[in-house]
């Protein structure tokens, strides 16, 4: 019961301005986009905008410094699958480069 009541307090249950979605902030009405640092803006195109995509996904998961286990686990599962795909690609590319076939 304590977890249920704590969840109600965090989401302002029954009050004006209550959180109706996990992606909705209850503390800031007009959320402004925070400008990215110069380093982020320079490195993002070099990394094919992957940092921006991951940052956007993280801001949807982590609202008001709160996160839920299911979206958090899903995000990192997808991230791990993405990294596995890159790992396989790099493995095969290095094998072709280091051990070229003699045809």
pLDDT digits (tens, 9 = 90+) for 2-56: 887 887 777 777 777 778 777 777 776 556 677 889 999 999 999 888 899 999 8
Residue 100 lies in a domain: yes
Range of the domain at 91: 77-103
- Which residues, listed in sequence order, are joined to residue 63 by a DSSP beta bridge? 66
C-alpha separations of 36 from 18, 30, 65, 73 in Å: 30, 18, 19, 26
Tell me the pLDDT tens digit for each residue of 60-79. 888 888 888 888 999 999 99
Domain count, the chain: 1
Residue 91 lies in a domain: yes
């Amino acid at each position: 019961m304590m977890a249920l009541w704590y969840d109600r307090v965090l989401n302002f249950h029954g009050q004006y301005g209550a959180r109706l979605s996990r992606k909705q902030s209850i503390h800031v009405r007009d959320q402004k986009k925070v400008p990215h640092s110069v380093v982020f803006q320079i490195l993002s195109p070099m990394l094919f905008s992957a940092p921006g995509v991951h940052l956007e996904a993280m801001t949807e998961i982590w609202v008001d410094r709160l996160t839920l286990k299911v979206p958090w686990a899903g995000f990192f599962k997808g991230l791990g699958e993405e990294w596995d795909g890159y790992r396989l690609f790099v493995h095969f590319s290095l094998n072709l480069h280091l051990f070229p076939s003699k045809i």
